[in-house]
């Protein structure tokens, strides 16, 4: 064989080798990842039903110790949580040993300490299930049931970045007032035959108390994250100005994402993809009020974006506030795992899954049917938005592989 022919043959073999590596081996890797995403989805669906059961088999630890050990930089709780029902049972039944005004914020809440020393945040019922909050997408009081629904949606999406939440009924007269601090007790009043309180917060007013049905108040309790994981607050890059006539830069600059990508912690690591996951989460629940967000301290951008304070959600099922999706349609990137999960949830699966997940909560039914129907409509809008991105830039640019090993040792 002549030298020239040998060179040509070697060149052809080299091209075949490169083709095999890039297109076949890489595709095998992608297929393996997709198969794992599908298996994870089926595991999630199989564990949707959480029975609130006090039994903790094979351990001498308290529910609070178990939940504290779940927390790692990228997850609040692991994928497999056989003790979840016991932890949530404790949250909704353990004796309240202290009650105080809530931590800093704009909305009414109470800080409770349960038997065993566990802190939880109690948010009272303000609206009936079928009440529609009109006005701006961030209008109205906090919705306690929205916190419950958002937690279960976090489970269904596979994010696992929201603290545990469960519904609870409390007797204000016998469970709260005897253990309340003077500061909280001073905000109690009686309206008609109902016991009420207005607490202490930026928008808390004596003229706008939350009232029980007699003495029994419905609400949600959110498990406080362990003190060994202090939080760091960040201004959301796609936050609103909350001032009439004044737009944030992202609302008029379509190239805004390019600027965000040049600033820390969005220039490297998982944080920008977390922002986009959160935009999808918030759009589904109708939360246009995430002006700040929290991560764990000293994380150098590696911590998850923690999905705290989701109560400004599920206000108006007829309002699909598209601007919440700005991080997605301006950056046009999304995790492959998130994209896969969203596709598994289409065609009514999301509505059915969330309804099942919430069915055994003490305050069930948690959401009205119009809110459940709105989830499926919003999911279709998200999928269409991603398709527009892939049509414009191609799937190799838009779909980002970002799987991080999560240790629960």
Known binding-site residue numbers for ATP: 107, 123, 222-225, 294, 309
CA 209 remoteness from chain centre: 28
CA separation for the pair 94, 73 (Å, rounded): 28
CA separation for the pair 154, 92 (Å, rounded): 20
Residue positions forming the annotated binding site: 107, 123, 142, 222-225, 294, 309
* DSSP annotation string for 151-200: HHHHHHHT---S--EEEEEEEIIIIIGGGB-HHHHTTEEEETTEEEE--S
For tokens 């969203």, what's the residue?
Answer: 342
What burial letters (b/e) apply to 266-276, b meaning 16+ CB within 10 Å? beebbbbbbbb
Taking 3-state DSSP, the helix, strand and coil percentages for the chain, each rounded to the nearest 5, stand at 40, 15, 45
User: Any catalytic annotation for residue 215?
Assistant: no
CA separation for the pair 104, 253 (Å, rounded): 33
CA separation for the pair 298, 110 (Å, rounded): 28
Sequence-distant (6+) residues with CB within 8 A of 213 are 194
Catalytic option among 274, 289, 361, 376: 289
CA separation for the pair 133, 368 (Å, rounded): 13
CA separation for the pair 8, 30 (Å, rounded): 32
Residue positions forming the annotated binding site for Mn(2+): 142, 309
CA separation for the pair 350, 256 (Å, rounded): 31
User: Environment class of residue 162 by beta-carbon count within 10 Å: exposed (0-12), middle (13-18) or buried (19+)?
Assistant: buried
- The answer to whether the CB of 148 falls within 8 A of the CB of 165 is yes
- The answer to whether the CB of 366 falls within 8 A of the CB of 151 is no
Sequence-distant (6+) residues with CB within 8 A of 196 are 188, 189, 190, 209, 210, 211, 212
Pick from 188, 187, 212: nearest CA to 201:
187
**Tally of CB atoms within 10 A around 298:** 9
Write out the catalytic residue numbers: 289
């Amino acid at each position: 064989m002549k030298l020239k022919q040998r060179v040509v043959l070697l060149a052809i073999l080299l091209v075949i080798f490169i083709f095999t590596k890039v297109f076949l081996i890489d595709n095998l890797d992608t297929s393996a990842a997709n198969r794992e995403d599908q298996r994870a989805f089926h595991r999630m669906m199989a564990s949707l039903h959480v029975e609130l059961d006090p039994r903790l088999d094979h351990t001498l630890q308290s529910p609070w110790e178990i939940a504290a050990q779940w927390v790692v930089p990228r997850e609040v709780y692991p994928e497999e949580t056989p003790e979840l029902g016991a932890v949530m049972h404790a949250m909704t039944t353990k004796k309240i040993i202290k009650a105080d005004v809530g931590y800093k914020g704009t909305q009414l809440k109470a800080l409770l300490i349960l038997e065993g020393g566990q802190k939880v945040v109690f948010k009272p019922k303000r609206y009936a299930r079928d009440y529609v909050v009109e006005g701006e997408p961030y209008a109205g009081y906090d919705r306690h049931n929205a916190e419950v629904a958002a937690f279960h949606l976090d489970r269904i999406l596979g994010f696992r970045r929201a603290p545990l939440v469960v519904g609870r009924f409390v007797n204000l007269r016998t469970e709260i007032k005897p253990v309340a601090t003077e500061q909280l007790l001073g905000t109690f009043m009686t309206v008609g035959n109902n016991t009420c309180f207005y607490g202490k917060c930026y928008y808390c007013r004596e003229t706008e108390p939350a009232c029980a049905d007699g003495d029994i108040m419905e609400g949600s309790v959110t498990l406080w994250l362990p003190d060994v994981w202090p939080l760091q607050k960040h201004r959301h890059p796609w936050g609103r100005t909350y001032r009439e006539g004044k737009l944030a830069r992202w609302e008029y600059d379509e190239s805004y994402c390019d600027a965000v990508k040049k600033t820390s912690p969005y220039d490297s690591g998982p944080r920008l993809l977390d922002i986009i996951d959160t935009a999808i989460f918030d759009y589904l629940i109708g939360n246009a009020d995430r002006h700040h967000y929290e991560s764990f301290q000293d994380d150098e951008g590696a911590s998850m974006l923690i999905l705290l304070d989701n109560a400004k959600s599920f206000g108006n099922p007829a309002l699909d506030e598209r601007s919440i999706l700005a991080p997605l349609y301006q950056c046009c990137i999304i995790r492959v795992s998130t994209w896969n999960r969203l596709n598994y949830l289409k065609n009514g699966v999301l509505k059915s899954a969330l309804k099942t997940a919430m069915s055994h909560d003490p305050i069930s039914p948690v959401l009205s049917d119009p809110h459940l129907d709105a989830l499926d409509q919003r999911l279709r809008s998200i999928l269409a938005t991603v398709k527009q991105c892939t049509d414009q830039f191609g799937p190799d640019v838009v779909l980002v592989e970002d799987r991080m090993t999560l240790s629960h040792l």
